[in-house]
């Protein structure tokens, strides 16, 4: 007779295994954290908060009011979190929030945008002693997690204290689903403690239920990222001014590579050099996902013998003798402004990498948007766009070259694709209000 451990026993063993392995993994990753501190600058600021140590002033502010703790890991999620907080406060004006984030870039965005009534801090390491301490300091009314932040000890210890936990804008990629399926007893125990679980699309709902989420706790709301997409008129004027300083003609056809990853700058430079022989008014803007890759991007441009200007050195543009081949945007937080001046936009991490970056922002401007085959991070969004024929998805570099050429040759086709994209964004707004209403209930 084969011994089959009971479900509670399996769950207990997985909890023990997680808490034994997590500290080892954290120590193993520590050199990477230190490297980020050195590269990005500011990453080490308030690092002590990650181990649950808050200064006297922060502690005092956290204890002034009972707060809703909202957690967003990185840049994409912080915008969703800020939009959620804004909408929730409209419905519940007397609310106070504690906003946590993981990355230094998201922390910077949060620091600049957060309401003065709220408190920003770095998310603590998910170890029982640390989480127990932080929960004691914040004593939150509710915890709201963004997209896919399933931190087991945070969820378990908060639930044990009777603190409601919600998931906003939830999504689950195919790879994550496969990984979580192997740990279904643990994921089921985690997800039963989250209510409501608000997800972006039907596929996300199916996957959540597939790893143990109770069906009556899962709600398909659409993606909040449609609501987050907001224009910045001042920033758009700045982007237009940058192109004027460079001497880029008003009738130039502008190809923009946004949030690009390694390999994609090389592909775009190769394509650009080919296209310029037939399209003399073509100009290119490159905006890599991570600004610390600047030396690598510069090397790529030099290898292709393309002249370029760096956005960070714009005060020197007036001294340039002629318009460069490429504008390299080596600053943070300006990508959407440059989307507004482009004609054709390639969204990165979709050709040479897997996952994809957010295609909603460029579509908001009514632009012709092209993505590669790897958009696993945005299944619900891509389903909406593809159904509306509002985005061009290509299978490989040859497909990218063919599509860009076609869009350059056919202005009405390019305009129609952009207009469908803009309408698609407007039509799909409203998920944030629906989510706030459900959580408020």
Query: Do residues 163 and 278 both lie within one domain?
Result: no
Task: Return mean pLDDT, the chain.
Answer: 91
Q: What is the pLDDT of residues 217-240, one digit of tens each?
A: 999 999 998 998 889 999 999 999
Is 261 a member of any domain? yes
Is 3 a member of any domain? no
Is 6 a member of any domain? no
The answer, yes or no, to whether residue 5 has pLDDT greater than 50, is: no
Is 57 a member of any domain? yes
Query: Do residues 201 and 297 both lie within one domain?
Result: no
Q: What is the pLDDT of residues 340-369, one digit of tens each?
A: 999 999 999 999 989 999 999 999 999 999
Query: Do residues 63 and 175 both lie within one domain?
Result: yes
The answer, yes or no, to whether residue 43 has pLDDT greater than 60, is: no
The answer, yes or no, to whether residue 4 has pLDDT greater than 50, is: no
Query: Do residues 92 and 176 both lie within one domain?
Result: yes
Lowest-confidence region among 22-26, 307-311, 372-376: 22-26
Query: Do residues 48 and 111 both lie within one domain?
Result: yes
Query: Do residues 209 and 251 both lie within one domain?
Result: no
Q: How far apart are CA 147 and CA 169, in angstroms?
A: 5
Domain holding 249, by residue range, is 233-427
User: What is the 8-class DSSP label of residue 93?
Assistant: T
Q: What is the pLDDT of residues 198-207, one digit of tens each?
A: 999 999 999 9
What per-residue string of b and e applies to 353-379 under the rule 16 or more CB within 10 Å gives b? bbebbbbbbbbbbbbbbbbbeebbbbb
Is 7 a member of any domain? no
The answer, yes or no, to whether residue 1 has pLDDT greater than 50, is: no
Say if residues 287 and 329 touch (Cβ distance below 8 Å).
Answer: yes
Query: Do residues 166 and 303 both lie within one domain?
Result: no
Is 362 a member of any domain? yes
Say if residues 387 and 393 touch (Cβ distance below 8 Å).
Answer: no
Say if residues 210 and 177 touch (Cβ distance below 8 Å).
Answer: yes
Task: Report pTM.
Answer: 0.80
Q: What's the domain count of the chain?
A: 2
Query: Do residues 148 and 70 both lie within one domain?
Result: yes
Q: How far apart are CA 78 and CA 146, in angstroms?
A: 8
Say if residues 431 and 169 touch (Cβ distance below 8 Å).
Answer: yes
Is 32 a member of any domain? no
Query: Do residues 295 and 400 both lie within one domain?
Result: yes
Is 286 a member of any domain? yes
Radius of gyration of the chain (CA): 23
77: domain CATH number? 3.40.50.11720
Report residue 225 as tokens.
């990222």
327: domain CATH number? 3.40.50.2000
Q: How far apart are CA 188 and CA 186, in angstroms?
A: 5
Query: Do residues 159 and 306 both lie within one domain?
Result: no
The 10 Å Cβ neighbour count of residue 58 is 17
Q: How far apart are CA 394 and CA 396, in angstroms?
A: 6
Q: Output 52 or 19, whichever has higher pLDDT.
A: 52
Query: Do residues 298 and 170 both lie within one domain?
Result: no
Say if residues 265 and 288 touch (Cβ distance below 8 Å).
Answer: yes
Handedness of CA 203, 204, 205, 207 (dihedral sign): positive
The answer, yes or no, to whether residue 3 has pLDDT greater than 50, is: no
287: left (phi > 0), else alpha (psi -120 to 50), else beta? beta
Residue among 177, 231, 175, 165 at smallest CA distance from 204: 177
Query: Do residues 249 and 345 both lie within one domain?
Result: yes
């Amino acid at each position: 007779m084969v011994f089959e451990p009971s479900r509670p026993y399996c769950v207990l063993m997985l909890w023990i295994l997680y808490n034994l392995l997590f500290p080892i993994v954290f120590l193993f990753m520590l050199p990477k954290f230190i490297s980020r501190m050195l590269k990005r600058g500011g990453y080490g600021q308030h690092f002590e908060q990650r181990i649950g140590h808050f200064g006297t002033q922060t502690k005092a502010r956290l204890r002034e009011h009972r707060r809703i703790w909202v957690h967003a890991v990185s840049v994409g999620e912080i915008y969703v979190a800020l939009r959620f907080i804004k909408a929730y406060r409209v419905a519940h004006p007397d609310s106070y929030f504690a906003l946590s984030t993981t990355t230094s870039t998201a922390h910077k965005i949060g620091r600049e945008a957060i309401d003065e009534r709220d408190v920003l801090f770095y998310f603590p390491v998910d170890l029982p002693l640390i989480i127990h301490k932080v929960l004691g300091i914040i004593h939150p009314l509710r915890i709201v997690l963004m997209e896919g932040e399933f931190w087991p000890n945070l969820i378990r210890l908060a639930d044990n204290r009777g603190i409601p936990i919600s998931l906003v804008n939830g999504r689950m990629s195919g790879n994550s689903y496969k990984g979580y399926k192997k740990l279904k007893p643990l994921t089921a125990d985690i997800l039963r403690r989250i209510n409501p679980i608000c997800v972006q699309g039907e596929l996300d709902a199916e996957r959540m239920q597939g790893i143990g989420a109770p069906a009556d706790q899962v709600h398909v709301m659409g993606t909040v990222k449609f609501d987050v997409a907001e224009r910045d008129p001042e920033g758009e004027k700045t982007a237009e001014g940058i192109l004027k300083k460079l001497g880029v003609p008003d009738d130039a056809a502008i190809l923009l590579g946004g949030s690009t990853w390694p390999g994609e700058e090389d592909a775009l430079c190769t394509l650009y050099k080919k296209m310029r022989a037939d399209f003399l008014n073509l100009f290119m803007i490159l905006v890599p996902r991570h600004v610390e890759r600047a030396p690598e991007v510069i090397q790529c441009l030099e290898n292709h013998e393309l002249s370029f200007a760096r956005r960070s050195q714009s005060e020197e543009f007036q001294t340039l003798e002629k318009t460069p081949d490429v504008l390299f945007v080596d600053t943070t937080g300006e990508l959407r402004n440059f989307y507004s001046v482009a004609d054709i936009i390639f969204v990165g991490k979709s050709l040479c990498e897997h996952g994809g970056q957010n295609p909603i922002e460029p579509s908001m401007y009514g632009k012709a948007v092209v993505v590669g085959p790897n958009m696993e991070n945005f299944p619900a969004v891509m389903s909406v766009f593809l159904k509306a024929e509002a985005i061009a998805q290509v299978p490989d570099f040859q497909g990218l070259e063919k599509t860009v050429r076609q869009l350059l040759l056919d202005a009405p086709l390019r305009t129609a694709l952009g207009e469908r994209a803009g309408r698609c964004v407007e039509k799909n707004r409203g998920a944030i209000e629906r989510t706030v209403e459900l959580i408020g209930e």
